[in-house]
Amino acid sequence: MKPVLLTLYESYFLPLDEALNPILTGFLIGLFSALEEGADYYNRVILLLDNLANRIDEFYFYTCIWSAIHLVGSVRYSAITFIVNRFDKRKSIEDQFHLIGFSIETTVKQKKNRMRKLLLSSFLLGICCLCMSL
């Protein structure tokens, strides 16, 4: 991801706040696709994601992340890593319920293929959360 593109996102997309909701899943897919640990822009993309999460409804934000995980396999690792890094083991799960999102239809799909992917993603998230709490 080029710094010029990040500047455009920070200057023009971020201030749109909840007006980004209709395109949020696609926007997140783009950001997570470019998220590579160790890259020069890694911290800047994480900051952009955190700022975005603070500007819109947290439940909707994380629901869109879970949608991105379902839709595009190549973003799963970076998206789940982002979610796991937001989990605070000192807080109760009730205080962090927004990390799961609020749409059962989005979180649990009826199609078998998507269900398997969700279960695998949820299982990995659960294992990561369990390891962090030890």
Q: Which pLDDT does position 70 carry in this prediction? A: 85
Report the half-sphere exposure of 85 (CA within 13 A, side-chain side).
10
pLDDT tens, residue order, the chain (134 aa): 688 999 999 999 999 999 999 999 999 999 999 888 777 889 999 999 999 999 999 989 988 998 898 889 899 889 988 988 888 878 777 777 777 777 655 555 434 455 566 666 666 666 666 666 55
What pLDDT, on the 0 to 100 scale, is given for residue 2? 81
The Cβ of residue 68 has, within 10 Å, a number of other Cβ atoms equal to: 23
How far apart CA 64 and CA 29 sit, in angstroms, is 9
- The pTM assigned to this predicted structure is 0.74
